[in-house]
Amino acid sequence: MKKTNFIALGFSATVLTGSLLFVPSLFAKEEAAAADDVAVQTSRLQSLAKFTKVLGLVEKYNVDPVTIEELMDKALGGMLTNLDAHSTFLNAKHFESMKVQTDGEFGGLGITVGIKDGALTVIAPIEGTPADKAGLKASDIILKINEQSTLNMTIDDAVNIMRGKKGTPINLTIIRKNALKPLNIDIVRDIIKIQSVYAKNIGDDILYLRVTSFDKKVVDGIVKELKKASNKNKGIVLDLRNNPGGLLDQAVGLVDLFIDKGIIVSQKGRDKSEEKVYSATASGTFKDIPLVVLVNEGSASASEIVSGALQDHKRGIIIGENTFGKGSVQVILPITDEEAIKLTIARYYLPSGRTIQAVGVKPDVLVQAGEIKTHDNGFSIKEADLKKHLEGELAKIEGETPEKEKKESSDTIIEEDLNKDLQLKEAVAITKALQIMKGR
């Protein structure tokens, strides 16, 4: 019995000792946390004191007079632009310009630009705009705008310079891959009007869908074209080349047309409240039609979400070149009634968990842009061609106007068009292969 009591007492003593050891550990953790808070606050105060001291020294001794307001704007601008290529400080002028860009009508060039490897780079010219007609290409580096160097220029500054009244000229000096020297391109500003979706037929059973940018009409436009061609459509080529992006909900909606379940894209940031997951729904899905997606280095943001999600779900074959790599989320946060900051608050992640930012989407089939050179025998004349030629000559003699050749419909892509676009030709070939595999 004594032995039992000793054991029990020993157990009680152990528990008591453990309790005594546990309580001080709690105090130690609380004290450590408090010490950390004090250290953080002390570091913050020291940093602010250093900033204030530098501000005062520059204001007092700088060779050129500068106001405290100017110094503060420059300091805020430097802080934001050094975070990443998309964050920036918007002073009153830039903030107002952004409102005009969002709400008003303005003259522009029709290009989307970004900072890539420290250089102001064309993400993509928008189809049919002055920049596109002037010959600007994705990945062109803009060295000068009207003789003003773009080195250390922010995206917002560049956009503000390039924007202007309709009909006014602008000159861009660009560096293009494989060009021997910089190119000078003259462009006349115009009001930018974009047809975001259009469709064409390739042969009897392939539907070509071109999305130039993701505005609010994309999903409705695609659905309309898919329903119109539903009876004969046995394959789709979705062209997202030189598409700089746009509205997230339209990108999600477009993917949702082709998959019936699973994650499309997720948005993750430092603040848990900014984390969102966008998933597919089963209704209205065109999930059985063979799908090929065309991308290039001008495909960015929403285009990368669409192509990357379809690739991860193995719903479509991605063809072309590696995409731009713009997969971050920016918001405008006002700091006064007239000023704001544009800050990156999150990144997009594809269904597999991979990021787009600075990496882009790698195509399943890498195909460089180009055309196929055809070698027709210039000395051979087909019987049909000879007959047309003779009819024309006879009409001239008799004073008649020959009947014009019937032109191919603008809604149809013919073999000649495919030979001028190697990526599209490869996409059509793979679509036909998928049709054959599906029929087995």
Q: One digit per residue, pLDDT tens: the chain, 440 residues? A: 444 443 343 433 333 333 333 445 656 667 777 778 888 899 999 999 999 999 999 999 999 999 999 999 999 999 999 999 889 999 998 888 776 655 445 689 999 898 888 899 999 998 889 999 999 999 999 999 999 999 988 888 898 899 888 999 999 999 999 999 999 999 999 998 888 999 999 998 999 999 999 999 999 999 999 999 887 889 999 999 999 998 999 999 999 999 999 999 999 999 888 799 999 998 878 988 999 999 999 999 999 999 999 999 999 999 999 999 999 998 889 999 999 999 999 999 999 999 999 999 999 999 999 988 766 554 445 555 566 656 666 665 665 544 444 444 578 999 999 999 999 999 999 999 999 988 75
Cα dist. 414→127, 328, 407, 424, 427 in Å? 20, 39, 11, 11, 14
Rounded CA gap, 278 and 265, in Å?
A: 5
Choosing among 2.30.42.10, 3.40.1190.20, 3.30.9.10, 3.90.1150.10, the CATH entry for 87-191 is: 2.30.42.10
d(CA 92, CA 108): 21
The domain spans of the chain are: 87-191, 197-366
**Catalytic residue status for 217:** no
Which strand (E) or helix (H) includes residue 330?
strand 328-334
Class (C level, CATH) for 197-366: alpha beta
Choose the catalytic residue: 196, 299, 301, 303: 301
Residue 142 and residue 125 in contact, taking contact as beta carbons nearer than 8 Å: no
Q: What's the order of all strands across the beta sheet hosting 412-413? A: 365-366, 317-320, 291-295, 235-239, 206-211, 197-202, 412-413
Q: What is the pLDDT of residue 236?
A: 97
- Tell me whether residue 404 is one of the annotated catalytic residues: no
User: For residue 268, what is the enclosing H or E element?
Assistant: strand 263-269
Residue with tokens 């602010």: 48
Q: What is the pLDDT of residue 404?
A: 43
Q: Which of 137, 326, 342, 432 is catalytic?
A: 326
Cα distances (Å, whole numbers) of residue 101 to 40, 162, 175, 340: 40, 12, 27, 15
Q: Which of 140, 239, 256, 312 is catalytic?
A: 312
Residue 362 a catalytic site member: no
Cα–Cα distance for residue pair 79/92, rounded to 1 Å: 18
Q: What single letter denotes the amino acid at residue 334?
A: P
* 148, β-bridge pairs: 145
β-sheet bridge partners, residue 145: 148, 172
Which pLDDT score is estimated for 394?
66
Amino acid 4: pLDDT: 44
Of the candidates 162, 156, 155, which has an alpha carbon nearest to the alpha carbon of residue 95? 156
DSSP 180-237: SS-EEEEEE-EE-----EEEEEETTTEEEEEE-SB-TTHHHHHHHHHHHTTTT--EEE
